[in-house]
Structures are given as C-alpha cells and as structure tokens.
Amino acid sequence: MTTQTNHSLLKKHILLGISGSIAAYKIPELIRLLRKKGAAVRVIITNTAKKFITPLTLQTISGNTVISNLIDNSSSDEINHISLAKWADIIILAPATADLIARLAAGIANDFITTVCLASTSPVAVAPTMNNQMYHATVTQDNLKKLKNRKYIIWGPTYGIQACNSIGLGRMIEPLIMVDLINNYFNSKKDFKNIKILITAGPTRENIDPIRFISNYSSGYMGFAIAKEAIKRGAEVTLITGPVYLKTPFGANRINITNCMDMHKQVHKIINKQNIFIGCAAVSDYRSKTIYKHKIKKEKNEINIFLIKNPDIISTVANLKKNRPYVVGFAAESENIKKYAYEKLKQKKLDLICANDISIPNNGFNSKNNKLYLFDKNKSIQLPYCDKNELSHYLLNEIIKRYEKN
C-alpha cells in the first residue's frame, strides 16, 4: 500500500462525485491524501450527500468551491458541467449509491454528477457503496454490468460490517486503497492489459482422516504478490489458492481449494480462456490412497499410510494441444539448482521456470524475500534478491517480453 508522501499525482485533475451514503464521511480524508500527492481536486455533491457531509468541510479540504445544483446562479461559467467534464483527468464517484449507479446506467442526467459523466470523455471510476442486499440485487448487478461494458472502472465494494449492521459486500473501499488505485491508474505501465493470467498459489492439503493432512510450509506470498502486480499492470487475474492467511489482492478473482485434485479441476475449468499460466503453488506430489472416515486411533505402534501420486497440474497445462497458454513454473531446490531447473523445464514442457535456492536461510519458501533464477530454452538470468512484491515486478517484466515474442 502506498503511504509515503510523494507527488506522483502532480497536476492531475481529479473530479470527485459524492452521493448520499454514510461513507461520505471518509471523503475528506481521500481528498487530503490526493492533495498530498499533488493532485488538484474538485468536488460535486448530491443533495442527499449534503446530509452526511457538509460542503464547507469539502471546500475547506479541497481548496475549491463545491458544486451541487445543476442550475446554480452563484456558479461562474468556469464551473459549468461541460468545462468540469473537460477539466477532469479522471472522475471518481465515491461513495456511489445504488441510485446513482442506476441513473448512470440508464443515461439519466438529472443532477450535476450524472450530467458531467454524460458530458465527459474522461475515465470514470465508480466505488459502489450500499447495503449488501441492495448490492446483490439483480437490478444493481445488471446496472454495474452495463457500466463495465461502457468501460467504467468499478472499484469495490469490499466485504465487512455495514452501517445497517449487516455483514457482506457493500462497503466503500478505504481512501488509502483508493489513492493506491488512482496512483496505479496514472503511473503504472499497463503492459498486461487484455491479458488473462491464471495463478496457482499456496500449499495443498491432502487429507488422511477428518483432522489430519499432508501439506507443506508454502505461505502463498509469491503467488499473491504476482497477482497484485499483474492486476496493477492491467491483467485480468484468477488466483487459485490453497489454504493461506493472505488477503485477496484487490481485483483478483480468487478461488479457494484444499487439495491437488480440487486445484486440478478448477484450473482445467478455465484454462482454455487464459493467456498465461503461472504455477506458483507448492502442490503435494502425493495423496493418501484412503481418506479415513473417522479419526485414526493410536492403538498400534506402527501404521501404514499408502500414498499415491497426484496429477502434475502444470504438466497437464503445458501439454494441452488446444488453447495452450504461456506456461511459467516454479522450482524450489536445495542443491544443483541449474541442473534440476533445466530438467524440470524440459520434462514438464514449460516455457519458463523460476528456481529458488531454499537452502539459503530466509529465501523462498514461507519467506517474504526471494532470489530467483529464470531459465527458458535459450538462456538463464538471475533476478535481484528482494521482497517478493518487488521481485514480482522484475519477474513480470521478463514474462511479458517472452510472452510477446511467443
């Protein structure tokens, strides 16, 4: 998350449209953060929103007159809806109520916000904010789909407790996250735009009885960091993950699985639509032949658990005859990295393999840092030892170069 003071939004014109939701009380903080980054902020507010936050507060924080009524005798020519529409580099509607979303979807222009949106060619980002039932209502979902089809950007909502005390999807994304998204919108390369990436992450758990399983120490950090970076760069990301304690990267389509067979099934459900497959998961190579229905009792001194081989998911993807994506694998090695990595690259028919030396303390497995060696059929390179978030940036630079040549 971007928290440091910098001027990455210098001279960006941000037009904020606030509609009537309790989350409007968070908008002064958003404006403060945006101005700290150098942005100029102008605010339009609906009449209902004025019941939650005063125009005077917004005017003081933004340093600009707050606009509300469509026909306002006090407003000069400089701030009519057409000039504001041209002024904005981006329009952000936050909080955006179900009502505002419905009016936008229908093309109604009965207040300042909807009129400016209709008159503008600038990108519009919408932060839906409402009770979770209202959010899930078919009509709201249809309206959001309409906006998406018209290239509106939809940010959120997030999951959690709501003002009405219900729990679910419907909270406005937090100002800090919104600033990050705005920052990414203006400052990040969009070299993965229109590219669909499927990433597997974390460990798998292979059950033995109702409470015991075979697994490993994979944290999921690497796969989640790649997902976050790929989304930032415009990719459409699906993350199929084993049990991990990590937050879903904003914008990722997350599918939770437990064991290898589940992961295999979920991967093959959607693989034919993917451009790139990145197998980051530490998949158990074996599973118990029998999953005991009841807890195994410690009656005997020795017991046998018969293991059978799991499918190698990445190999099944790399061997696809139709709609085969570009395939990137990982290898955690404790010795002979180069030799084993090349063998895996060939044996599994991968396009690229990322190998790490897990014999180095704090490297790779269950660690925040990593040092990767990349091997493809032509060459090998070493990426810098760094935090997995930064490493994802370097890794995706290498993947996109090769994917485009492919």
Contacting positions for ligand C5P (CB under 6 A): 200, 260, 279-281, 283, 285, 310, 312-314, 329-331, 344
Q: What SS3 state is found at 57?
A: helix
Among 164, 260, 354, 386, which one carries the catalytic annotation? 164
Nearest approach, Cβ of 352 to ligand C5P (angstroms)? 10
Nearest approach, Cβ of 273 to ligand C5P (angstroms)? 18
DSSP one-letter code for 173: P
C-beta of 14 vs 352, nearer to ligand C5P:
352
Q: Is 192 annotated as a binding residue?
A: no
Other Cβ atoms within 10 Å of 130 Cβ, number: 27
Nearest approach, Cβ of 257 to ligand C5P (angstroms)? 12
C-beta of 67 vs 260, nearer to ligand C5P:
260
Tokens of 269: 């459900």
Q: Is 295 annotated as a binding residue?
A: yes
C-beta of 152 vs 365, nearer to ligand C5P:
365
Helix (H) or strand (E) holding 13: strand 13-18
Which among 364, 385, 382 is positioned nearest to 373, based on CA atoms?
Answer: 382
**How many angstroms separate the CA atoms of 285 and 308, rounded?**
9
**How many angstroms separate the CA atoms of 381 and 113, rounded?**
51
Q: Is 186 annotated as a binding residue?
A: no
Nearest approach, Cβ of 378 to ligand C5P (angstroms)? 20
Cα separation of the two ends of the chain: 33
Cβ–Cβ under 8 Å, residues 223 and 278? yes
Nearest approach, Cβ of 208 to ligand C5P (angstroms)? 18
Q: Is 312 annotated as a binding residue?
A: yes
C-beta of 236 vs 351, nearer to ligand C5P:
351
C-beta of 45 vs 332, nearer to ligand C5P:
332
Q: Is the four-CA dihedral 93, 61, 184, 229 of positive or negative sign?
A: negative
Nearest approach, Cβ of 226 to ligand C5P (angstroms)? 12
Q: Is 279 annotated as a binding residue?
A: yes
Q: Is 330 annotated as a binding residue?
A: yes
C-beta of 59 vs 323, nearer to ligand C5P:
323
Q: What SS3 state is found at 352?
A: strand
Q: What SS3 state is found at 167?
A: strand
Tokens of 31: 């404006």
Q: Are strands 372-375 and 352-357 parallel, antiparallel or unpaired?
A: antiparallel
354 labelled catalytic: no
Cβ–Cβ under 8 Å, residues 158 and 171? yes
Q: Is the four-CA dihedral 272, 236, 354, 310 of positive or negative sign?
A: negative
Please count the residues of the chain: 406
**Which residues are identified as catalytic?**
164
Binding residues for CTP: 279-281, 285, 295, 311-314, 330, 344, 348
